[in-house]
Structure 1
Amino acid sequence: MDLGIKGKKAVITGGATGIGAAICAELAREGVSVAFTTRKPDDAAAALAALGGKEAGHYAIVIDIAEEGGPQRMADELRANWGVPDIVINNVGDTLGVTDPLCPITDWRRIFRLNLEVHIETNNCFIPSMKEKGWGRIVNISAGASMENSGPVPYCAIKAAYTAYTRSMGRVLATDGIVMSAVLPGVVFTERGHWATVMEERPEHAEKYLEERTVLKRFGRTDEISPMVALLCSQQASFCVGSIVPVEGGQARHYFHFNGVG
């Protein structure tokens, strides 16, 4: 299928490793010029080289986007050195190791900052230019934990807000030619992710989790998430206003996945 986005520009936060890197590669194969953020210079160089480098139209930004003003600094650097994206993928997110439901409010704020506030700021940087063009795609990488009690309380609560933001803002942007949607990955193995650590330190816990909590009895792969993200970035996604799309191998146990327009 021709996704119709060859020649477009996309920015992916947290795009040097894991799901973000898979999304970058998927879009690059579609002829999209990709810019991505990462906190680590070595990761930036390796990921940029894997995409074909600056000469292929790609760009890496070394930044901690969760720092105060991070999204605006990213936007300013892109405008000065690469251009303005037609597509935004908000991929960064983490529990930050906060598991205590009675944690201090400062921990709640850290979770909120990384998993929602940064994405709102990033979108606000680029939505005006999308409106001017009359076209744009924003895909928010949320989590299955946004739809059910699956993970630490602060993380689940903020991801639920992130998914609700997608659903609500998607309706607001629709008449401007901008499609905002969200992908909810299930349990996905990445080389430096949570489950890589669990597999190394507590393999019996990982095996028990896969046996009892998943249908396919295995982790998802990053290349099982990226094609759906690419589709939601495409010309074919014009009717996916506010769509919330689970890609989780049947793992979730709730009934109310909100797909489509409503």
Structure 2
Amino acid sequence: MTQIFTPPETRIAIVTGGARGIGAAIATRLAEDGHDVAILDLDREQCADSIRAVEATGRRGMAVSADVSDEDAVRRAVAQVADTFGPPTVLVNNAGVLRDASLSKMTVRDWDFVLDVNLRSAFLMSREMEPHFRATRWGRVVNLSSIAALGVFGEANYAAAKAGVQGFTKSLAIELGRFGVTANVVAPGFVITEMTREVARRVNMSIEDMTKEMMVNNWVGRAGIPEDIANAVGFFADVRSAFVTGQVLYVAGGPRG
């Protein structure tokens, strides 16, 4: 017997790490697509521009201060969103950090911090959202990975976390599908954001030189922009993507994976 899962009349999305860059573009895209959007970030004051962009679409926006690698903080944040907007049913785990070093120079602290923010947070957020998914019998999870999941020098911690995100998401797709929930991954390639500009500064390169270096195996002839990633997230979050789950989409200007 075919199950029909009906989306809620008001779709409420949570985007982690949405204060700037890719997260901010995702929040705006989801708002344009008809979602009310809650942005979780360490400093809610830094989310002001993102919230203004959400509200400019006519949708509701709110910012919540939260360390999404902390179990209690995640519990409080999701409860605050539910109390204010109603049950959230779209989750975008976008929060991420880098702590680059070669293996011999990488500290346990560097390893743990990157795994906590990039992978542990996806687990904590997804687990906290599950009761809302079950009650509503509908939902979307979109987790941000990276081409780094395929391996990169000096980012063993980040590569491990982003590869872990992919396996975690495929497991979510299996566990949550019976509740009308899809779970998918968007894996960006080189995207020009403040984070990548900071990486360039750290290795004493201009962003222009870094972009040229990263264009190897990029067949569309340009670097990515946050909106490229937001568009892919929007596809997976759409009500019309109900038959797509457990997938990894590399948005990288060339074939990957």
Is the aligned partner of 1:60 residue 2:63?
A: yes
Q: Which amino acid aligns with 1:193?
A: M
Deviation of 1:40 (Å): 2.9
CA contact (8 A) 2:35 2:59 kept: no
Quote the Cα distance in structure 1 between the aligned partners of 2:157 and 2:61.
Answer: 35
Quote the Cα distance in structure 1 between the aligned partners of 2:93 and 2:53.
Answer: 21
Deviation of 1:168 (Å): 2.0
Is the aligned partner of 1:36 residue 2:46?
A: no
User: Of 100, 103, 117, which residue of structure 2 is paired with 1:101?
Assistant: 103
TM-score (norm 2): 0.87
Deviation of 1:128 (Å): 1.6
Q: Percent identity?
A: 26
Distance verdict in 2 for CA 1:6–1:234, change over 3 Å: farther
Deviation of 1:182 (Å): 0.5
* 2:4 counterpart residue number: none
Deviation of 1:223 (Å): 1.0
* 1:247 counterpart residue number: 251
Distance verdict in 2 for CA 1:155–1:197, change over 3 Å: closer
TM-score (norm 1): 0.85
Could you give the per-residue CA deviations for residues 207-234 of structure 1, whole angstroms, max 9, x where no partner exists? 4413435333421011111111111011
Aligned residues between the structures: 248
* 1:260 counterpart residue number: none
User: Of 225, 233, 239, which residue of structure 2 is paired with 1:235?
Assistant: 239
- 1:103-122 paired onto structure 2 within 5 Å: 103-122=106-125
Is the aligned partner of 1:225 residue 2:229?
A: yes
What are structure 1's unaligned runs of at least 5 residues? 258-262
- 1:118-197 paired onto structure 2 within 5 Å: 118-149=121-152, 152-190=155-193, 192-195=194-197
CA contact (8 A) 1:186 1:251 kept: no
Quote the Cα distance in structure 1 between the aligned partners of 2:62 and 2:80.
Answer: 10
Distance verdict in 2 for CA 1:119–1:104, change over 3 Å: same
Let me know the Cα RMSD of the aligned residues. 2.4
Q: Which moved more, 1:75-84 or 1:114-123?
A: 75-84
Distance verdict in 2 for CA 1:136–1:68, change over 3 Å: closer
Distance verdict in 2 for CA 1:40–1:8, change over 3 Å: same
- 1:9-48 paired onto structure 2 within 5 Å: 9-48=12-51
Is the aligned partner of 1:80 residue 2:83?
A: yes
